[in-house]
A and B are shown apart, each in its own frame.
Chain A
Amino acid sequence: EEEHEAAPRDPCALRPLFARAGLLSQAEGSAYVELGGGTKVLCAAWGPREAAEPGAAGRLLCEFRRAPFAGRGARWRPGSAAEREAEREAASALREALEPAVRLARYPRARLAVSALLLQDGGSALAAAISAAAMALADAGVEMYDLAVGCALCRPPGPAAAWMLQPGEPEERSAVARLTVALLPALNQVSAVLGGGQGSPPDAWAQALRLGLDGCHRLYPVLRQSLLRAARRRDAAAAA
């Protein structure tokens, strides 16, 4: 891909999204989300198992892994501490975004596990992982209040620069502020606001949040539709 000065893009444009659930036979629930421009996330989820330290409500364990071939060029030495730290941070961000969506009180003394694998990083990876993980949990039959939809934004350098939805990888790298929001659209509840940066007046952040939530609302029907298709495929396979 060319790195020359790209024509100014529409900041509210959403990249084309492809989502498919129920594609792994080994895991109880699975989902694959791909954003146009090369972000690919594969996610698997497992239903209630006995928890090592049981509590009154269930626990959600999230894991985020970045494939060694996910980024362009060598970013970190595979297995280095920096990479593990970034993966741990992404996993705890995933947990923060998903926990409000799952009905943990229905699974006392049990643990639910979600594992996300980033196959290719083309920007907005965490947002795609949040959506994929929520779909995988729903596909596994875990009771949830709603699907959590993730959307990323970033603000390029410059005094009058506007926030952009779903940045690509070069845009994300050169941005001065990045944000990932996670929304439960049917209940209109925000489950996570992650990220930060510098150089914006406060009302610009509020406007960025609104832009992100609007993006989440627009992505929601696509994810719901793919879950519906997965349910129909499962019913057809069970009937056959």
Chain B
Amino acid sequence: SALDPPPLGERLCSAEEATAGSGTYTRHGFIFSSLAGCLEKRSEDSGLPVVSVVRDAESQLLPDVGAVVTCKVCSINSRFAKVHILYVGSTPLKSTFRGTIRREDIRATEKDKVEVYKSFRPGDIVLAKVISLGDAQSNYLLSTAENELGVVVARSEAGVQMVPISWCEMQCPRTHTKDFRKVARVQPQFLQT
């Protein structure tokens, strides 16, 4: 590009001319860059433009509270399911983070009647939302208590990928057996036909 990327620690502008976006920090009333990347200036309708510095590879993404993540279930018991977080949004993580989906966070309604064994199984791919970063002892806390969250890919005992038939059931296309899962209602534009 014609402009050089701003070096790390470069003073970009005064804090009165713009607001600090990602990759920047404010000190002594000025905005400095905290990444060696490309400068972006987006003008917001309300108020000051937002100045941010981005690097091409979003490799430093971490699951944040409220982010929708794609994870794989590794083990279940009667109180929670343990998962490995693979993607944050649509960017893959370079190393997996561990997460936990508690029994009371699987569904929004009738939380006490939930059975983890009938919602997830090991090996399922699940869309979940991060509700808490957790403390020193626990992993990321995730929730599937929305219609759009839940199991997206699951394999039956025969090893075939199952087809969802309702919000709580999936069917194997070969053996026609039905299995219970907490199924995600994926938006039509994300389905491949």
Contact across chains for B8 and A144 when beta carbons are under 8 A apart: yes
Min CB distance, A201 to chain B, in Å?
A: 34
The CA of A49 and the CA of B37, in the complex, are separated in Å by: 21
Min CB distance, B90 to chain A, in Å?
A: 18
The CA of A227 and the CA of B36, in the complex, are separated in Å by: 8
Query: Is B57 at the interface (CB under 8 A from chain A)?
Result: yes
Contact across chains for B9 and A186 when beta carbons are under 8 A apart: yes
B contact residues, total (Cβ < 8 Å): 31
Please name all residues of chain B whose beta carbon is closer than 8 Å to the beta carbon of A107 when the two chains form the complex: 60, 62
A contact residues, total (Cβ < 8 Å): 34
Please name all residues of chain A whose beta carbon is closer than 8 Å to the beta carbon of B5 when the two chains form the complex: 228, 231-232, 235
| Residue of A whose beta carbon sits closest to that of B95 | A49
List which B63-105 residues lie within 8 A (CB) of chain A. 94-98
The CA of A233 and the CA of B144, in the complex, are separated in Å by: 43
Please name all residues of chain A whose beta carbon is closer than 8 Å to the beta carbon of B96 when the two chains form the complex: 50
The CA of A235 and the CA of B5, in the complex, are separated in Å by: 10
Contact across chains for A108 and B59 when beta carbons are under 8 A apart: no
Contact across chains for B32 and A186 when beta carbons are under 8 A apart: yes
Query: Is A55 at the interface (CB under 8 A from chain B)?
Result: yes
Query: Is B10 at the interface (CB under 8 A from chain A)?
Result: yes
The CA of A182 and the CA of B25, in the complex, are separated in Å by: 21
Contact across chains for A235 and B1 when beta carbons are under 8 A apart: yes
Please name all residues of chain A whose beta carbon is closer than 8 Å to the beta carbon of B140 when the two chains form the complex: 109
| Residue of B whose beta carbon sits closest to that of A238 | B56
List which A29-73 residues lie within 8 A (CB) of chain B. 47-50, 53-55
Query: Is B173 at the interface (CB under 8 A from chain A)?
Result: no
Min CB distance, B26 to chain A, in Å?
A: 11
Query: Which of B1, B55, B62 is close to A108, meaning CB atoms less than 8 Å apart?
Result: B62
Query: Is B191 at the interface (CB under 8 A from chain A)?
Result: no
The CA of A103 and the CA of B62, in the complex, are separated in Å by: 14
Query: Which of B34, B56, B62, B134 is close to A48, meaning CB atoms less than 8 Å apart?
Result: B62
Please name all residues of chain A whose beta carbon is closer than 8 Å to the beta carbon of B136 when the two chains form the complex: 53-55
Query: Is B7 at the interface (CB under 8 A from chain A)?
Result: yes
Query: Is A141 at the interface (CB under 8 A from chain B)?
Result: yes
Query: Which of A47, A147, A187, A234 is close to B60, meaning CB atoms less than 8 Å apart?
Result: A47
Contact bitstring A143-187, B, C-beta under 8 A = 1, else 0: 111110000000000000000000000000000000000001111
24 A–B contacts, CB within 8 A, in A order: A48-B60, A49-B94, A54-B136, A103-B25, A103-B34, A108-B62, A109-B62, A109-B140, A138-B8, A141-B55, A143-B34, A143-B35, A144-B8, A145-B9, A145-B25, A147-B8, A186-B11, A186-B32, A187-B9, A187-B27, A228-B36, A231-B5, A231-B36, A232-B5
A interface residues with partner B (beta carbon < 8 Å): 28, 47-50, 53-55, 103, 107-110, 138-139, 141-147, 184-187, 224, 227-228, 231-232, 234-235, 238
Apart from A141-B57, A145-B27, what are 8 other A-B pairs with CB-CB below 8 Å? A50-B97, A107-B60, A108-B62, A143-B34, A146-B9, A146-B32, A228-B36, A231-B37
